[in-house]
Chain A
Amino acid sequence: MPNVITCYKWVIDEADIRAGGGGALSFEQAGRKISEYDRNAIEAAVQICEQQGGSVTAISLGGPEVKSSAKDALSRGPERAILALDPAFANADSQTTALGLTAAVKLAGAYDLIVCGEGSGDVYAQQVGPRLAELLGIPCITFAGKLTVTATGVVAERKLDDGVEVVEAAFPVLVTVLPDVAKPRIPSLKQVMGAAKKEVKVVDAAALGLAGDALAARFETKALKAPASNRKQVKVANPVALAEAIAGAVR
């Protein structure tokens, strides 16, 4: 019966971001959501434990706003959540995130498997999973499109640039998953109600033992802008007019 941890990020919904004057990004109306592919990661973890027993702990790290993510995450099936919340974690880089998650994983107790998404919806750095594994000193299998759990470890099919690579690893192991690994469920009303009763542990940076260098900036961000786009945006009335436009452009 595997004990599984799944890490999800509570991200700004990129569809709500507007480009303001001079290409500046406006986050004013932006809501938050569980990073799209992390929903697949949560689902994969939950399905494993539904089939084989064991329990799922969901962990997320971020600013205080991450608190409101617990209900959504827990309605998707995990038994408990650990939230690493601190103003210093808002916009944390991959290393600070991995350091904080490492400490949070240690709070979760014994585990066999950690499931992360392939990349987060906002920064899509594809780094936190491998960094976390390295800091925990456990093996890491990235970009798994299929994941099978055995009594002693996992078999994962990695989808890579040059084809498929099948990798076996013993517990404890961290796997980052592609969305094909499991389709996220739409939580039922009962699951949503049940989520409110589940255990949520909240810890801050100090409680996780993070200070100084661990939290220091590793990047200087010089600009954050919308990509330039100046399309004509001409609406044409029918396929004939469209054909003329295309033919003109191809020549």
Chain B
Amino acid sequence: MCRNMAGVWVFSEQRSTLLELVGEGRKLADRLGVGLTALVPGGRFDAVDAIAFGADEAIVLTLPEGQPLETAAEAVARLVGELDPDLILWGATLRAKGLAARVAARLGAALVTDATALRVQPDGRIETDRMVYGGGGVATQVALTRPQMIAVPPRTFAEPAVNPRIGDVREVVVPADSRVKVTERRPKSNQGADIAAAGVVVGVGRGLAAAEDLALVEALAATLGGAVGCTRPVAEDLGWLPEDRYIGISGRKVAPKVYVAVGLSGQVQHLAGMRESKVVVAINKDENAPIFANADYGLVGDLYTVLPALTDELKKLMR
């Protein structure tokens, strides 16, 4: 049935991302006429599910207690050396990007991180797009090394449908690295609104003078039934909003019906996360702010006078 069981591999330590990659990997494997193998650090349940959603086989990577995921680099590189896959798709979480880079270094191979598009070429290689220059450019590349390695952000591909098969699950035990030790893990608390799901997003930047003034932004968002997002410095430097609210090349990607940019300059790194929005509206006191060239409607003005008036007016209009 399959010419080469080692054909396409997918890897993710996150269950949902793993299944997305299994779905896409299945299509690619069928197209290339090869098998699909899931590499699963998450354990046996995830491995069984990977097969239920379309993988031909799964390899469970069992990590010793207290070791970071990246400890698996040597074991994964060895598997690649033995089984010679054509293509590895990695779920581009921060952990897996580091692991993939380490595997790639061992193999002397190229790795595309955060690919935004994959296209199969007639010769079976994959052409990828990714953002460069902070989002100011898109590079289209084909890797010349083997295996092809591409890291794709979570939620790039749709959740797959069940596509059950019969396949083997085997286990590879990763040896511990005595030089590193995880001493604590503090899971993220559920921080409320998922901005990627909102129909309207109000994005706020450093033009806001104080954390209390977020109330102005929240009032506007509430009027529109939307969510509040922000630029990276508002979350990271100022800590006014949780880090899963910042939008951009290194943050969340949003594509709402309307994106309202408030007191943010519109640097390319931010634009990279909201470019797919249907309509973009900007409020900034600097008429030369780059956000205006990337907006459909712009108002030059002080957010402290504009927002209250805008919210009032919208309350009337949205009734």
| A137 CB to nearest B CB, Å | 10
| A248 CB to nearest B CB, Å | 9
A interface bracket (residues with beta carbon within 8 Å of B): 35 or more
Is B113 an interface position by the 8 A CB rule?
yes
Q: Which of B177-199 contact A (CB under 8 A)?
A: 177, 179-188, 199
A14 contacts B136, C-beta separation under 8 Å: yes
Give chain B residues whose Cβ lies under 8 Å from the Cβ of A155.
183
Give chain B residues whose Cβ lies under 8 Å from the Cβ of A25.
133, 136-137
Nearest chain B residue, comparing its CB with the CB of A37: B250
A220 contacts B144, C-beta separation under 8 Å: yes
Query: What sequence of 0s and 1s flags, for each residue 209-227 of chain B, a beta carbon within 8 Å of any chain A beta carbon?
Result: 0000000000000001000
| B84 CB to nearest A CB, Å | 18
Among candidates B99, B184, B283, B293, residue contacting A242 with C-beta atoms closer than 8 Å: B283
Query: What sequence of 0s and 1s flags, for each residue 214-247 of chain A, a beta carbon within 8 Å of any chain B beta carbon?
Result: 0001111111111101011111111111111111
Query: What sequence of 0s and 1s flags, for each residue 99-122 of chain B, a beta carbon within 8 Å of any chain A beta carbon?
Result: 101101110111101100000000
Give chain B residues whose Cβ lies under 8 Å from the Cβ of A191.
none
Nearest chain B residue, comparing its CB with the CB of A249: B279
Is A72 an interface position by the 8 A CB rule?
no
Give chain B residues whose Cβ lies under 8 Å from the Cβ of A223.
138-140
Nearest chain B residue, comparing its CB with the CB of A237: B299
Is A199 an interface position by the 8 A CB rule?
no
Q: Which of A98-124 contact B (CB under 8 A)?
A: 98, 119, 121-124
Give chain B residues whose Cβ lies under 8 Å from the Cβ of A69.
none
Tell me the complex Cα distance, A17–B313, Å: 39
A224 contacts B138, C-beta separation under 8 Å: yes
Given contacts A130-B70, A160-B94, contact A243 B133 (CB under 8 A): no
Give chain B residues whose Cβ lies under 8 Å from the Cβ of A245.
281, 296-297
**What is the predominant secondary structure among interface residues of chain A facing chain B?**
mixed
A236 contacts B102, C-beta separation under 8 Å: no
Nearest chain B residue, comparing its CB with the CB of A222: B140
Is B132 an interface position by the 8 A CB rule?
yes
Is A141 an interface position by the 8 A CB rule?
yes
Given contacts A25-B136, A161-B94, A219-B142, contact A169 B180 (CB under 8 A): yes
| B150 CB to nearest A CB, Å | 12
How many residues of chain B get a CB closer than 8 Å to chain A's CBs?
86
B95 contacts A14, C-beta separation under 8 Å: no
Is A167 an interface position by the 8 A CB rule?
yes
Nearest chain A residue, comparing its CB with the CB of B315: A243
A124 contacts B250, C-beta separation under 8 Å: yes
Is B249 an interface position by the 8 A CB rule?
yes
| B117 CB to nearest A CB, Å | 12
Is B82 an interface position by the 8 A CB rule?
no
A168 contacts B181, C-beta separation under 8 Å: yes
| B251 CB to nearest A CB, Å | 11
Query: What sequence of 0s and 1s flags, for each residue 278-315 of chain B, a beta carbon within 8 Å of any chain A beta carbon?
Result: 11110100000000111111111100001001100110
Among candidates B133, B140, B144, residue contacting A12 with C-beta atoms closer than 8 Å: B133
Is A78 an interface position by the 8 A CB rule?
no
Among candidates A132, A166, A173, A218, residue contacting B145 with C-beta atoms closer than 8 Å: A218
| A240 CB to nearest B CB, Å | 5
Give chain A residues whose Cβ lies under 8 Å from the Cβ of B97.
126-127, 142
A233 contacts B279, C-beta separation under 8 Å: no
Give chain B residues whose Cβ lies under 8 Å from the Cβ of A240.
309, 313
B93 contacts A239, C-beta separation under 8 Å: no
Task: Name the residue in A121, A161, A217 with the highest tally of chain B Cβ atoms < 10 Å from its Cβ.
Answer: A161
B132 contacts A124, C-beta separation under 8 Å: yes
A239 contacts B313, C-beta separation under 8 Å: yes
Tell me the complex Cα distance, A221–B144, Å: 10
Tell me the complex Cα distance, A218–B249, Å: 24
Nearest chain A residue, comparing its CB with the CB of B145: A218
Give chain B residues whose Cβ lies under 8 Å from the Cβ of A224.
132, 137-140
B110 contacts A164, C-beta separation under 8 Å: no
Given contacts A123-B132, A135-B105, A168-B183, contact A218 B296 (CB under 8 A): no
| A17 CB to nearest B CB, Å | 5
Point out residues on A near B: beta carbons under 8 Å.
Answer: 12, 14-15, 17, 25, 93-95, 98, 119, 121-127, 129-135, 138-143, 155, 158-170, 173, 178-180, 213, 217-227, 229, 231-247, 249-250
What are 17 A-B contacts with C-beta separation under 8 Å?
A14-B136, A94-B101, A95-B108, A121-B134, A124-B249, A130-B98, A130-B105, A139-B179, A142-B95, A179-B237, A180-B237, A213-B108, A219-B110, A220-B142, A226-B138, A245-B281, A249-B281
Q: Which 6 A-B pairs have the closest CB atoms?
A: A243-B313, A218-B110, A131-B105, A239-B309, A134-B105, A130-B101
